Structure 1
Amino acid sequence: MSSEIRTGASRHFVLAAGGTGGHLIPAFALAGELHARGHHVALITDERGANIPGKPDYLTAHVLPAGRFGKNPLGWPKGIAAVLEGRRMALRLFDAFEPSAIVGFGGYPALPALLAATSAGLPSVIHEQNAVLGRVNRLLAGRVDAIATSYDKVDRLDPKHAAKVYLTGNPVRAEVLALREQDFPAFTEEGLLRVLVTGGSQGARVLSEVVPDGLAMLPPALRQRLQVTQQCRPEDLDAVRQRYAEHDIPAELGTYFEDMHERLADAHLFIGRAGASTIAELTAVGRPAILVPLPIATDDHQAVNTREMVKAGGARMIRQDAFQPKELAKQIQAMAMNPSSLANAAHCAFNCGRPDAVKDLADLVESMSGIDLMDVIRVGEGAAAATASARPATGSARKSAREFADQ
């Protein structure tokens, strides 16, 4: 599609996402792409999302009520009341902002916004970051006009929605995507083995407990070449630092690294959780990994997230109950004792990446407002009928948001 068409077709879009990094990183990436194309973008989220680091200055955040629905039914009436109030507020926002489409990224704060879009007849898209369709996206899948996925196969996605599924990938931060143009750092039989260990935004205690001892069990020829960077919880820092000192392994520890993309650029091997953004970044850059899925993740989605990368040969997955020092050392040896094995795993990870994710997602979102959808997006099985010619109605064919604001 020509840049003249893009820049000449300014639209308004609303993004709705839960307040965690997993939901907001792709939302911010899409916001940046739409903004660069000349569009205006607003965000609906919760208090965490409105104040999370990394939110673009141009992206105005609107905090709406969003009820949660736990296992105890006694709390559901309160949750429903919050969703209905959030829906009313979203409709008033839509009436003032006049969006061309609403894009949901999962999480409970997205629910009232997408329900409001359905009520007002506004085109809507949901994006699923994980390899298992999340709860809120499952609730909305039958209502929205398009479903963007990050994986070829997404569990708990009803086959009856196949005609509106588009494989876009999971957008990553621009500074991470830029690393795709760099070669995998040279790794030789005498050179350093740089290991990056993270456990998500809050760290993971199991990594602090297992990784230092697992690295210490490596053969001396490999252990003496280690250089470790590890993110830890504040309360774990001293104990982890002492363990590395006892093992005589050089390690830089911190609770947060602002230059994480630069650490990733230098790393030969990643050890950590299997969140959607983590895997999207590893595959975008091409970094081999040992992944330890969070065992309490809803629908075990982190374990499912590893499926594609492990099958391709770019990663190894260890369940947390089996994540012991001896097993970790065994897996590292299998990947790193031969320099070519690690380089091959990096190549396999790289081939799983979807570097055009943010562009493809932006193309899909723009198509909801009448801009042609080009063939850069791979559609799901049976989606041949869901071409750009079958877009939802726009303009006068939509219902006015004001008609619903007081319902």
Structure 2
Amino acid sequence: MKILMTGGGTGGHIYPALAFVNHVKTLAPDTEFMYVGTENGLESNIVPQYNIPFKTIKIQGFRRSLSPQNFKTVYLFLSSIGKAKKILKEFQPDVVIGTGGYVSGSVVYAAKQLNIPTIVHEQNSIPGMTNKFLSKYATKVAICFPDVAQYFPKDKVVLTGNPRAQEVVSVEKTDILKEYGLNPEKKTVVIFGGSRGALKINQAFVEALPFFEERDYQVLYASGERYYKELQEKLKLSEKKLTNISIQPYIDKMAEVLAAADLMVGRAGATSIAEFTALGLPAILIPSPYVTNDHQTKNAQSLVKSGAVEMIPDQELTGSKLVAEIDTILLDELRCQSMAEASKKEGIPDAADRLYKVVKEIT
């Protein structure tokens, strides 16, 4: 079988695609893959590291305000369909899977015109503009949150979950916290604001630090590379030793770290949610207010309903509020256990298998 993946712009579109590729390679090693992205997108740096044939097309997104750039966007979209058709004819895939981002718009639309079966994969609880457009043409629409089904043609929707969950669920608990100077036997909260960090979370952590030093639990905090140096200087980290707190610019083995933790605090991106629910980890979510359609808030709200998470709006976040919320979970064994069970129920640990089943059904 030949499968063409397309998606880009953010890690939330790219990593589910790569997780699916990795899983299918274990199930059916003879499967051939190709990935289509853009030259300037994040995918051009990430995908080649996975030894997947990679092709690019040129495209850009629509401006939400009236702009002459939108004329260029229409031109690029139309010309990119021609380029996508050329790639499709050369590779001759049995199915095309688009995981979001403008690039998938051209490729999935071109595949439809060539009568190639297609799947659109939507990671969030509010669909992106591209996936909403493509749902009219796609053979199937794979979703991760039941709430998002209302935005798509009912007969096309399949609840598959995020393939990243299946990568994470098999990760076993280890002593990885030792690598960060922490005790693997102690209750641990992991706090981070995404790969680049988040200013508001950073500010709250600085305010919370004196309180964290007094707690019985320990804290692993990833500030993001862009805030790390400033944090070191502000807190004078070179002059004092923190006994139950570890501050890092970035956490490389996040899945392994989460498997060793008792609570996660962070943004409400689709990939993070797939990871911690697959592990059955309670969470405090602080949705980013800077994402399209405020979809992170909707992601978080769907999990608040089930009791798996607590949510703090970004504008309400303070150091004292952060510590208080963490205390109410980590210092209450029954509540922590209840949230963990609810989180596990929300997870879809066989997401990659579900998506592969859809592939086999339509090819």
Matched, 1:133 2:118: no
**Corresponding residue to 1:292 among 280, 286, 296:** 286
Q: Is the 2:197–2:227 Cα contact (8 Å) retained in structure 1?
A: no
**Corresponding residue to 1:283 among 277, 281, 284:** 277
1:169 maps to 161
Instruction: Give per-residue Cα distances to partners, 1:72-98, cap 9 Å, x unaligned.
Output: 331111111211222111111111111
**Corresponding residue to 1:96 among 90, 94, 104:** 90
Which segment is superposed worse, 130-139 or 207-216? Answer: 207-216
Q: Is the 1:34–1:41 Cα contact (8 Å) retained in structure 2?
A: no
Q: Is the 1:244–1:250 Cα contact (8 Å) retained in structure 2?
A: no
Distance 1:174 1:256, change over 3 A: farther
SS in 1 for 2:46: coil
User: Shift of the alpha carbon at 1:155?
Assistant: 6.7
Matched, 1:20 2:10: yes
Distance 1:338 1:155, change over 3 A: same
Q: Percent identity?
A: 28
Distance 1:50 1:366, change over 3 A: farther
Q: After the TM superposition, which residues 312-351 of structure 1 pair with which residues of structure 2 at under 5 Å, given as runs?
A: 312-351=306-345
- In the alignment, residue 170 of structure 1 is paired with which amino acid? N
Q: In structure 1, list runs of 5 or more residues that go unmatched.
A: 1-10, 186-190, 370-407
Distance 1:340 1:244, change over 3 A: farther
- In the alignment, residue 228 of structure 2 is paired with which amino acid? L
- In the alignment, residue 149 of structure 1 is paired with which amino acid? I
User: Shift of the alpha carbon at 1:203?
Assistant: 1.1
Q: Is the 1:17–1:110 Cα contact (8 Å) retained in structure 2?
A: yes
Distance 1:63 1:53, change over 3 A: closer
Distance 1:197 1:240, change over 3 A: same
Distance 1:257 1:195, change over 3 A: same
Higher relative contact order (CA 8 A, sep 6+): 1
Give the TM-score of the pair, scaled to structure 2: 0.88
- In the alignment, residue 58 of structure 2 is paired with which amino acid? P
**Greater gyration radius:** 1
Q: Is the 1:13–1:102 Cα contact (8 Å) retained in structure 2?
A: yes
Distance 1:54 1:193, change over 3 A: farther
- In the alignment, residue 69 of structure 1 is paired with which amino acid? F
Instruction: Give per-residue Cα distances to partners, 1:346-395, cap 9 Å, x unaligned.
Output: 222111110010000011012221xxxxxxxxxxxxxxxxxxxxxxxxxx
Which segment is superposed worse, 238-247 or 266-275? Answer: 238-247
Instruction: Give per-residue Cα distances to partners, 1:304-354, cap 9 Å, x unaligned.
Output: 111232122121001011111222122112212222321221222111110
1:224 maps to 215
Partner Cα separation in structure 2 for residue 208 and residue 123 of structure 1: 45
Q: Is the 2:165–2:278 Cα contact (8 Å) retained in structure 1?
A: no
1:39 maps to 31
- In the alignment, residue 153 of structure 1 is paired with which amino acid? D
Distance 1:230 1:54, change over 3 A: farther
Cα RMSD for the two superposed structures: 2.3
Q: In structure 2, list runs of 5 or more residues that go unmatched.
A: 177-184
Partner Cα separation in structure 1 for residue 109 and residue 217 of structure 2: 52
SS in 2 for 1:153: helix
- How many residue pairs align between the two structures? 346
Partner Cα separation in structure 1 for residue 7 and residue 126 of structure 2: 17
Give the TM-score of the pair, scaled to structure 1: 0.79
Partner Cα separation in structure 2 for residue 345 and residue 247 of structure 1: 33
Partner Cα separation in structure 2 for residue 55 and residue 292 of structure 1: 31
User: Shift of the alpha carbon at 1:50?
Assistant: 2.0
Matched, 1:30 2:20: yes
